[in-house]
Amino acid sequence: MVEATPQNMRGRFITFEGGEGSGKSTQARLLAEKLNSLGVAVKLTREPGGSPAAEVIRHILLSGVAKPLGAEAEAMLFAAARDDHLATTIRPALDRGVWVISDRFADSTRVYQGVLGEVDPRLIRRLERLIVGETWPDLTFVLDIPVEHGLMRANVRRGAAAVDRFEGEDANFHSKLREAYRQLAASEPARCIMIDATQPREKVAEQIWSLVNARLDPATAPMVFEDLAL
């Protein structure tokens, strides 16, 4: 067992990003389960949401009622949700040595509102500085999948349920989204790793696991004794 010291005490922060049907939620869960099975305390969370107040804002955003306000206002709402998520869920967990895995984070705002919504990049950066501050992920997996393939998977998964605010966008939107994520991954290679999400689920999970091992060395994580439900 590794002793907790101030240096190694802080948990690691890992995020998953990608478009529709990329399988990122499944991979986030598989990674959380794997770490947990090795004795690493993990908090699996998501955006928008991840805290009671942020889940309320999630409902507003995904229902589409905020769409008429425009992409800039939506960016601010996502940021408000993120602020609460960071303050009440993410930072307290990291401070206790818990590893946090989030299904989406600030990169989603960069891509969806910044690139797709054409919100001024200066506003996006300011929001990032104000809200995210120093709490950037240690590692971000960008799951990449061709648009048709991803949409087909998303349709199968959704079944008869109605599409949400962003799922309802057209194929052109989704191909721009893919391109924006590819550019993001290329522009921040130290933090972001692009993964070929067309591979079988187990292969994707193996690849992610070996990258987490190589980059973040979970074997040296201190034991944190608390019961955290995934």
Does residue 181 bind ligand TYD (CB under 6 A)? no
3-class DSSP assignment, residue 180: helix
Does residue 166 bind ligand TYD (CB under 6 A)? yes
Number of amino acids touching ligand TYD (CB under 6 A): 14
Stretch that binds ligand TYD, among 4-12, 32-40, 105-113, 197-205 (CB under 6 A): 105-113
The token pair at 209 is 């696991």
CB of 227 to ligand TYD, least distance (A): 26
Sign, CA dihedral 141-147-153-155, equals positive
Residues from 146 through 165 that contact ligand TYD (CB under 6 A): 164
The Cα-based distances of 212 to 42, 66, 153 in angstroms read 14, 37, 26
Does residue 112 bind ligand TYD (CB under 6 A)? yes
Sign, CA dihedral 63-69-74-76, equals negative
Of the two residues 40 and 180, which places its CB atom closer to ligand TYD in the complex?
A: 180
Residues from 21 through 60 that contact ligand TYD (CB under 6 A): 25, 46-48
> Where do the DSSP E strands lie in 66-217?
99-103, 139-144, 192-196
CB of 84 to ligand TYD, least distance (A): 13
Q: Which residues pair with 100 in a beta bridge?
A: 13, 43
Q: Which spans of this chain sit near ligand TYD (rule: CB under 6 A)?
A: 20, 25, 46-48, 62, 78, 104, 108-109, 112-113, 164, 166
